[in-house]
Chain A
Amino acid sequence: MDSLPFFPDRASTIAGSIDNLYFAWLILSGVVALAVAVAIVWFAVRYRRGSAADRSLGDVAEHEKTMHHIEIVWTVVPLVLFLAMFFWSAKVYYRSVTVPKDALPIYVVAKQWMWHAEHPGGEREIDELHVPANRPVELLMTSQDVIHSLSIPGFRIKQDVLPGRYTTLSFTANRPGEYHLFCTQFCGASHSLMVGRVVVMEPAAFEGWLSAHANMPTMAARGAQRYRQLGCGGCHDAQATVRAPKLDGLFGRPVQLRDGRSVLADERFIRDAVLQPTQDVPAGYDANMPSFRGQISEEELLEIIEYVKSLSNAT
């Protein structure tokens, strides 16, 4: 308690833009609040009951006209200011939610009450997240139970993590160090203990950290193993006899569906195809795939997604 902290660390490329918005609002609202306060105090003192101040309004028609003008001014000025702030903040927001193409993917599964992260190379961590500095990172997140929210105040970012679907959060950290990671959506008894740390490392140090875990199978390898265990290859492999879509080169491409729609084969699509296969059936195929709901954990599903992704990267 020996210092008065006013602002959080500024450790991501978006943080400065968010802070600028914050400062702009501080100044704007400070000016307005001060103006209202000064006006109230000034009027209250000057026109206190019994004061000698002149209260005549002069020519009534003239007075009404002036008042009317004042009303227009104090309607239009806030409106214009608000619209300007709206556009500015929306612009910053769109920048913050746009994922750069070369972003490093990291997979996060939230559960009561821990953060489980897995890197494509297979490195797993709990309540910690190691990321390289100056490289865009995209977190692909889901929850195993209730809604959580991943917040890193030092990066000025936050996103709810939902059960049953994927949400993403992207950032580029730019200052090596350790930062808070909080769950900000109330998730049960130990919500306030669902905290961790984000470790931003210089790229070389990050590579070193990764290679310290180099003896583990990659996520894609684990995914491939699970894929075989579940018998997916019986239909989806190139030499399979049952008609099912091939997975090579699938990820990231548009898929024509039986009902005429076309959807992008992204993480959500793969997830739904495994858990609710009859929902989006590709054109030319029957809806004969069984659901794997209940047979596969969130982590395993992410590994299978990473495996399917790897089949596209290879070609």
Chain B
Amino acid sequence: MASAEAVVTAAGTTRKLRIQHLGKVFERDGESVAALEDINLDVTEGEFICIVGPSGCGKSTLLNVLAGFLPSTSGSVTIDGEAVSGPDPRRIMVFQERGVFPWLTVEGNIGFGLSKLTRAQREERIAHYVQTVRLQGFENTYPSDLSGGMKQRLQVARALAVNPDILYLDEPFGALDSITRVIMRGELLRIWQTERRTILFVTHDIDEAVQMADRVVVLSSRPARIEEVLTIDIPHPRNISSPRYLELRDELLKQIGLAYEI
């Protein structure tokens, strides 16, 4: 079965995150709706995981449970052997929209989680991540004057600034236009390659998943179960017209049940 496959990790790597028999049931007006069912997955340190699935299947719910925003109803999530019990600054979520604080400037947003540092350290950290996400010259700009892509880069910078070991990204580029989206993928990969954080990235875009992930987790429709975990064995930078790329992409499309001929 797929779940048995999923627990296997590559030899010689450190396990970062372990999901075991995870389930989530919502109670609404006295009715129970199962959102997640028996999710099992091991994620290695520094790995880039994409989670795909039909819309409304519970991808975001999974991420919210992992990040501690929602309690699970069964099973467990452990990070470095420690059970997740709530939101934690060591794991930061990047939201699809409106994740940045509109009342703070770019600097204020990046420095949001840095109040424990000294002033000098904080300024150094902010300057570094302004550079990382290429927002130089916009330090004192408010989010309302930034484009959608810049806002998402700002959110990534704010997340990275607190030096988290895991980044959760919930369809972070879903609201952007297709050109900006492609650019943002490149930026995120560049950042991931220099900073080597563990990334769990939810998307509904198959191409996005195949272009970025080490492994792609395919969820079924509600209640979400892991249908398949596909390893993308193409080195970066990936040629998106190579036969292997197309093969993996088709396999994923088939897995989700989409026709790949229109």
Q: Do A and B assemble together?
A: no
